[in-house]
Amino acid sequence: MNSWMTRAAAPLALAGLLAGCSGVSDLTKERVARSETSVQQAQQAIGNSEQGALELQRAKENLDGARKAMKDGDEKLADRHAQLAQLDAELAVSKSQTAASRKAADEMLASIKQLRQEAERTTDQPRTTNDQ
C-alpha cells in the first residue's frame, strides 16, 4: 500500500487515481492470472532443458512487470505485460516442442541411414540364381 503513496507523483498512477482510485479492472486481473498459469505450465513443460529457457525467463520478467503494474494501478501496462508474458510462455513451449520433434526426426533419419547401410552390406554378397 505504501507504493500508492510513493508512486502518486507518477503521471500514469495519477491517471489511475483520477479514474477512481479503484486499481485495475477485473478483466486485467483475470488476464494477469491467466498469464501466471501459462508461465507455470511453460515451466513444467520445459523443465531444466535449454530450449525455451530464455523465453521462459522473459515470460517471468513480463509477469513480474504485470504484477507490479497491477499493484501500481497501471491497467494498460499490466495488460501489456500480461499479454507479453503469455506470448513468451507460448514461445518457450513451442521452442521446446520443436527441439523434441527435431530430435525425433533426426533419430529417425539416422536409423533409416543405418538400416540402408546394413541392407547394402548384405546385398553386396554374391547372389546365386535359382536355376543352377
Give contact residues for other proteins (rule: CB under 8 A). 80, 83-84, 87-88, 90-91, 94-95, 97-98, 101-102, 104-105, 108-109, 111-112, 115-116, 118-119, 122-123, 125, 127-128, 130
Distance of closest approach, residue 125 Cβ to other proteins, in angstroms? 8
Quickly count helices (H) and strands (E) in the chain.
5, 0
The nearer residue to other proteins, 36 or 90, going by C-beta atoms, is 90
Q: Which is nearer to other proteins, 1 or 121 (CB)?
A: 121
Q: What is the DSSP letter of 112?
A: H
> Is the torsion defined by CA of 114, 115, 118, 123 positive or negative?
negative
Q: Which is nearer to other proteins, 49 or 98 (CB)?
A: 98
Q: Which residue has the cell 552390406?
A: 121
60 close to 46: Cβ distance less than 8 angstroms: no
